Amino acid sequence: MREIMTEYYIEAKTADQTGKKVAWITSGGPVEPLIVMDVIPVYPENYGAMIGASHMGGDLCAKAEALGYSTDLCSYARADIACALENGGPIGGLPKPDMLICCNNICGTVMKWYEVQARLFNVPLFIFDTPFCHVDFADEARRYVRAQIDEYISFLEGVCKKKFDFDRSMEVGRLSLKGQQLWQEVLDAAAHRPSPMTAFDAFFFLALIVTLRGTDKVVNFYTELLEEMKERVSQGISAVENERYRLLWDNLPVWYRLKWLSDTFASHGACLVADTYTTAWCGSMKYIDENDFIDSMAEAYTRIYLNIGVDEMAKTIFEMIDKYEVDGLVMHSNRSCKPYSFGQYDLMRMVQEKKGIPCMMLESHMVDERSFSESQALTRIDAFMEVIRKRGPGAGTAR
Amino acid sequence: MDILNEFIEVAADPGAYARRIRASGRSVIGYYCSYAPEEIIHAAGLHPIRLFGTGGDSGIADRHLQAYCCSLVRGALAESLTGRLDYLDGTVFPHTCDSIQRLSDIWRLNTSHGFFADVVLPVKLTGENARKYLIDVLQRFKRDLESYFDLVITEESMRSSIRTFNTIRSYLSEIYELKSRNPGIISGQELFSIVRTSMVMDRDVLRDKLQTLLQELRESVPGREGRGRRLMLVGNACNHPDIYELIERSGGQVVWDDLCTGTRWFSGAIREEGDPIAAIADRLFERQVCPSKHKSPTARGELLASQARKHGVEGVIFLYLKFCDPHSFDYPYLKECFKDMGIPSMLLEIEDSLPPEGQILTRIETFTQMLGPKTGAVHAETSQTGREG
């Protein structure tokens, strides 16, 4: 895994020597056409996660603040903006983009963030606009996103000065779907008691489906990973020793406290078996038609987890609670991500009413470690686990 | 001017005015966004009204929204949950920022004001595909209104509404131009009240009153000399009339703005020929852009710079609601744009209520004093008044 990611970043960082073009793209963006065009996709959000995990977020965010970016803005964006200006951060910064591809299916923040980078690098910006689906996916929205796929392809043909290969897009589409299916199967392994993996493992392995979707690297790696999970299941190996309680995580990870959170929950015999975040990269497979990937990806990219109404999100959470037999819900109220976090109180109430399981909330900025209070989090986790313990292991939902 | 007092009175309590409208038998439709298709609501014979967050306590919103949500969104929800919006027969949520987007969900699930519509506008306001989509979205909204209220919106009523709104917008533009050329003609707070009332009052009544007011202003000799430094306000929705007075007491005067409750809302005219819905869509496409929408990475900087130049702006106050992402992202860039033009700026982040008066006065005074000696050579360029495309 580390080797694949290292190789990927080396290729991206040496693109100027190999003559390949580099595109910066949002994590939920339609990357497959870039792969078809031999463009190297680079993900500032994946990079943001690296920044967070290497505890460089606080310093970089502070640098962005010195430039006038408010401390209340997304910490991925702040850290990335600071890195781009000074080639700082892990791996000496990201390779400069030849183009920017921004899909707003995850938030409005990415549009503002990519506008900043478009001014800085003075390169073409393509915005793939996916209308928000509060209750449904309207016909006019369907036509609009479909038309933008053609717009996107002509944009790429213009920047790359070559034709789009539709035959190759079939193959890339097939690999993308296969990668998503395997990712879902890997995550599904956690439904087993005891779970062979935790959400913290998923946060780590997620990097591939995000950055290399549409390539055989993902397919090969997840095939092996799935075998490993099956092996662990068959041998009864658990990710958390003496797993007693199973929890669901909501929102992005707190990237600079992964280990601490993992250990803290494990010390209570609790395994975070699943999360709404990593599932988002395989959550809209049902809309993909393998034989018509380019057409069907319009819908799949529009109806992802973050681009739907709160009540629609609740349905996904209910399903996960049942599927993974969850005893409690841990919500990360993420100051960096308003579209993910606003609505969490309503979701919490819906979960308590419909599923009767305890819920708790932790607050942070996902890569700005200055915003996190360990002692406060610990108090909350202890209190929450006390409630879970009183209900007893496997109490699950109020069925 | 009696007529001015009327504007001030309505602006001070829009809810009371809306209740009177409702008592007269007309349904009231509210919204929080300057992209709301007011013309279509008006053409349906319904009363469109802009809502403004709360002047009161928004604690009740804590049940639904975290503390890092802006005061407009929290205040809006609090207004509804405490029953202060009992005059509404419906609400419309044009798609704008991430926070309003989620407010719409929370609103739909927790409040009941009759009609409800999400108008999921394109975020990208360029290109033929986005334009077509915008037209489709407006047509859907029109059908939704027709079906819920069981009525037909005729093309003729659409055209008539478009004329009314065009006239109102052109009057407001001219009042702004007059104020820019002769700032003493009317106080900032009075101008605030005129704009706010224009978002609330019966539009046919408003059109006539604005005409009368404009006539008076055209002929009036400035009651007070406008000696303060020429400032421009840039920000989101302003719910604080006091800010204008504080600015004037600190040696400044607002001669132009880029506010959601200002020029962004009334800029641009609607084509009066051809398909009315397409014409409304075209104006929304072309009007002064909100930072939550995309025209180009440099569109706002270029526009604001040209406005500052045109109106002889000496300093800019960024008046932002705390936690407003779209504006906060633009701030470093816009600040540099103004700096490049030699125009200093200051940032004032506010929440539900303004910080203590003394604190604001000191900050603005410090700012106006550092603008350097007034040369007297700075005047707004004279320009054509009226509609701007």
DSSP string for residues in B118-131:
EE---SB--SHHHH
Pairwise CB contact (< 8 Å): A108 & B123: yes
Is residue B334 within 8 A of residue B306, CB to CB? The reply is no
Lowest mean pLDDT among A62-76, A87-101, A300-314: A87-101
A-proximal residues of B, 275-294, CB under 8 Å: 291-292, 294
> Domain range spanning residue B48?
2-154
Closest alpha carbon within chain A to B93: A134
Is residue B318 within 8 A of residue B331, CB to CB? The reply is yes
User: How many domains does chain B contain in total?
Assistant: 1
- pLDDT score, position B380: 44
Distance from C-alpha of A53 to C-alpha of B306, rounded to nearest angstrom = 44
Q: Per the domain annotation, does B258 fall within a domain?
A: no
Residue A20 has which token pair?
């390949």
CATH (domain of B32) = 3.40.50.11890
Pairwise CB contact (< 8 Å): B335 & A143: no
Of A223, A183, A232, give the one whose Cα is nearest residue A204. Answer: A183
Contacts of B108 in chain A (CB under 8 A): 134, 309
Distance from C-alpha of A190 to C-alpha of A203, rounded to nearest angstrom = 13
How many angstroms separate the CA of residue A362 from the nearest CA in chain B?
12
- pLDDT score, position A192: 97
Chain centroid to CA A113:
17
Is B295 touching A (CB cutoff 8 A)?
A: no
Residue A382 has which token pair?
């202890």
- pLDDT score, position B248: 95
Predicted-assembly ipTM surpassing the 0.85 threshold: yes
Higher pLDDT, A393 or A96: A96
Q: Per the domain annotation, does B285 fall within a domain?
A: no
- pLDDT score, position B373: 74
Is residue B332 within 8 A of residue B303, CB to CB? The reply is no
Contacts of A125 in chain B (CB under 8 A): 297
Q: Per the domain annotation, does B124 fall within a domain?
A: yes
State yes or no: pLDDT of A164 exceeds 80: yes
Q: Per the domain annotation, does B220 fall within a domain?
A: no
Pairwise CB contact (< 8 Å): A116 & B326: no
Q: Got the DSSP string for A134-196?
A: SS---HHHHHHHHHHHHHHHHHHHHHHTS---HHHHHHHHHHHHHHHHHHHHHHHGGGSSS-S
Nearest CB neighbour to B329, from listed A112, A129, A310: A112
Q: Got the DSSP string for B197-259?
A: HHTTS-HHHHHHHHHHHHHHHHHPPPSS---SEEEEEEES----THHHHHHHHTTEEEEEEE-
DSSP A94: P
Helix (H) or strand (E) holding A6: helix A2-13
State yes or no: pLDDT of A288 exceeds 90: yes
Q: Per the domain annotation, does B160 fall within a domain?
A: no
In this predicted model, what pLDDT tens digit does every residue of A132-141 receive, in sequence order?
999 999 999 9
Distance from C-alpha of A173 to C-alpha of B108, rounded to nearest angstrom = 37
Distance from C-alpha of B234 to C-alpha of B304, rounded to nearest angstrom = 9
Distance from C-alpha of A313 to C-alpha of A354, rounded to nearest angstrom = 14
Q: Per the domain annotation, does B127 fall within a domain?
A: yes
Is residue A58 within 8 A of residue A369, CB to CB? The reply is yes
Q: Per the domain annotation, does B212 fall within a domain?
A: no
Q: Averaged in consecutive runs of 10 residues, what is the pLDDT profile of chain B (389 residues)?
A: 91 96 97 97 98 88 97 96 96 97 98 97 97 98 98 98 98 97 93 97 98 93 73 93 94 97 96 98 97 97 97 97 97 98 96 86 95 59 37
Over residues A118-123, mean pLDDT: 98
- pLDDT score, position B1: 65
Helix (H) or strand (E) holding B65: none
Is residue A33 within 8 A of residue A51, CB to CB? The reply is no
How many angstroms separate the CA of residue B135 from the nearest CA in chain A?
9
Contacts of A331 in chain B (CB under 8 A): none
Q: Got the DSSP string for A15-45?
A: HHHHT--EEEE-TTS--HHHHHTTPEEE-HH
Contacts of A108 in chain B (CB under 8 A): 97-98, 101, 123, 292, 325-326
How many angstroms separate the CA of residue A155 from the nearest CA in chain B?
12
Q: Per the domain annotation, does B187 fall within a domain?
A: no
Distance from C-alpha of B257 to C-alpha of B284, rounded to nearest angstrom = 19
Over residues A14-26, mean pLDDT: 95
pTM: 0.95
pLDDT band at A251 (very low <50, low <70, confident <90, very high): very high
The CA-based angle B268-B273-B277, given to 5 degrees, is 70
Alpha helices in chain B (DSSP H): 2-12, 14-23, 38-43, 71-81, 98-110, 128-149, 155-181, 188-198, 203-219, 242-249, 263-266, 276-286, 299-310, 325-340, 357-369
A-proximal residues of B, 78-137, CB under 8 Å: 95, 97-99, 101-106, 108-110, 118, 120, 122-124, 127, 129-130, 132-133, 136-137
How many angstroms separate the CA of residue A84 from the nearest CA in chain B?
15
Of A290, A284, A240, give the one whose Cα is nearest residue A265. Answer: A240
pLDDT band at A393 (very low <50, low <70, confident <90, very high): confident
Chain centroid to CA A165:
28
In this predicted model, what pLDDT tens digit does every residue of A38-85 receive, in sequence order?
999 999 999 999 999 999 999 999 999 999 999 999 999 999 999 998
Of B342, B377, B347, give the one whose Cα is nearest residue B360. Answer: B347
Is residue A254 within 8 A of residue A372, CB to CB? The reply is yes
- pLDDT score, position A398: 53
In this predicted model, what pLDDT tens digit does every residue of A212-241 receive, in sequence order?
999 999 999 999 999 999 999 999 999 999
Pairwise CB contact (< 8 Å): A342 & B99: yes
Share of chain A above pLDDT 70, in %: 99
